[in-house]
């Protein structure tokens, strides 16, 4: 058996002792720990501003996305589950205890809700619920000039919605490596989180996967990037068209 030189033994013992010191002193995984960016798309090594620019570009170039979570706008909380593409979108919105569906194909916006939703339009319940019952479960075409069109169409507009949501406020910085639904991410923040935070995928295209908006204005998940889905107008049997103005009670 070949003898191991004493100098080599002392060096090995010294390296081992240094590893223990590093682990106990800093909480690292030890000597020889893997690079957190190994095998990733590399954006985790970039400055926060560059990461934000890349993820916004990736989001804008994607054909489709699913967006779910909450958005607070003008003091009202909306719970969304929307699938979006360049020419429209579809999904559900819940606000103030009422849930309704939105569907936009091109410039045509449709709203589908139950009788209770329609009976509450105008700020108070209507004593006559006959019109509301007729609209129960039907797609109501929202006139382009109706206030509801401007109010709700933004929830179905991928570019407008993402452009407004994917903005962090204040000084940008990276905030470590994280994970979203099994996908490794790099987190970037605005003003140490008070200006919002965004988790960006370290796998493949650097899509945004999770967003916490500034000022407690909502938390959103962004999934199904690039996964196509059918988007078509409802049939005439499913549709009610009131022309220039939606019914109000």
Same domain, 74 and 54: no
Same domain, 84 and 116: yes
Virtual CA dihedral for 72, 74, 77, 81, nearest 10 degrees? -70
- Distance in angstroms (rounded) separating the CA atoms of residues 38 and 245: 57
Same domain, 49 and 74: no
User: Which tens digits make up the pLDDT trace of 181-234?
Assistant: 999 999 999 999 999 999 999 999 999 999 999 999 999 999 999 999 999 999
What tokens appear for 239 in the block?
């549709």
Give the pLDDT of residue 36: 87
What tokens appear for 124 in the block?
């108070």
Contact criterion met (CB below 8 Å) for 142 and 151: no
Same domain, 52 and 111: no
- Distance in angstroms (rounded) separating the CA atoms of residues 48 and 44: 9
Please report whether residue 79 resides in a domain: yes
pTM of the predicted model as reported, rounded to 2 decimal places? 0.80
Please report whether residue 8 resides in a domain: no
Same domain, 119 and 184: no
Same domain, 75 and 154: yes
Please report whether residue 21 resides in a domain: no
Helix and strand totals (H; E) in the chain? 6, 12
Please report whether residue 14 resides in a domain: no
Same domain, 96 and 137: yes
Give the pLDDT of residue 26: 38
CA angle 111, 113, 118 (to 5 degrees): 100
User: Nearest to residue 41, comparing CAs of 176, 150, 164, 202?
Assistant: 202
- Distance in angstroms (rounded) separating the CA atoms of residues 104 and 140: 11
User: Nearest to residue 212, comparing CAs of 188, 248, 247?
Assistant: 188
- Distance in angstroms (rounded) separating the CA atoms of residues 207 and 27: 30
Percentage of the chain modeled with pLDDT above 70: 80
Supply the range of the domain harboring residue 142.
70-158+234-241
Same domain, 146 and 184: no
Please report whether residue 148 resides in a domain: yes
Q: What is the mean pLDDT of residues 42-56?
A: 96
Q: What is the mean pLDDT of residues 36-50?
A: 95
Same domain, 194 and 77: no
User: Nearest to residue 239, comparing CAs of 171, 87, 137?
Assistant: 137
User: Which tens digits make up the pLDDT trace of 97-144?
Assistant: 899 999 999 999 999 999 888 887 654 444 457 778 888 989 999 998
- Distance in angstroms (rounded) separating the CA atoms of residues 215 and 72: 10
Measured between its terminal Cα atoms, the distance across the chain in Å is 96
Please report whether residue 85 resides in a domain: yes
Higher-confidence residue of 109 and 145: namely: 109
Please report whether residue 83 resides in a domain: yes
Q: Where are the beta strands (DSSP E) in 86-182?
A: 88-95, 98-105, 108-112, 139-142, 172-180
User: Which tens digits make up the pLDDT trace of 9-33?
Assistant: 555 554 454 444 443 333 344 455 5
Same domain, 145 and 93: yes
Provide the domain count of the chain.
2
Contact criterion met (CB below 8 Å) for 247 and 115: no
Same domain, 189 and 137: no
Same domain, 77 and 191: no
């Amino acid at each position: 058996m070949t003898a191991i030189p004493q100098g080599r033994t002392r060096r090995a013992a010294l390296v081992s002792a240094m590893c223990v010191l590093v682990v106990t002193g800093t909480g690292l995984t030890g000597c020889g720990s893997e690079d957190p960016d190994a095998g990733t798309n590399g954006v985790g090594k970039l400055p926060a501003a560059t990461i934000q620019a890349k993820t916004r570009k990736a989001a804008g170039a994607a054909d489709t996305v699913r967006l779910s979570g909450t958005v607070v706008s003008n003091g009202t909380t909306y719970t969304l589950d929307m699938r979006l593409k360049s020419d429209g979108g579809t999904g559900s919105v819940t606000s103030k205890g009422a849930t309704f569906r939105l569907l936009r194909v091109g410039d045509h916006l449709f709203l589908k809700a139950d009788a209770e939703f329609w009976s509450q339009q105008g700020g108070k319940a209507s004593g006559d619920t006959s019109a509301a019952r007729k609209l129960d479960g039907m797609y109501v075409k929202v006139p382009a000039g109706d206030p509801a069109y401007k109010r709700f169409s933004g929830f179905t507009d991928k570019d407008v919605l993402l452009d407004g949501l994917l903005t962090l406020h204040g000084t940008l910085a990276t905030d470590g490596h994280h994970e979203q639904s099994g996908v490794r991410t790099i987190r970037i923040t605005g003003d140490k989180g008070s200006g919002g935070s965004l988790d960006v995928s370290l796998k493949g295209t650097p899509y945004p996967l999770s967003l916490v908006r500034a000022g407690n204005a909502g938390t959103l998940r962004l999934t199904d990037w690039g996964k196509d889905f059918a988007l078509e107008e409802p049939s005439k049997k499913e549709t009610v068209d009131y022309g220039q103005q939606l019914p109000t009670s």
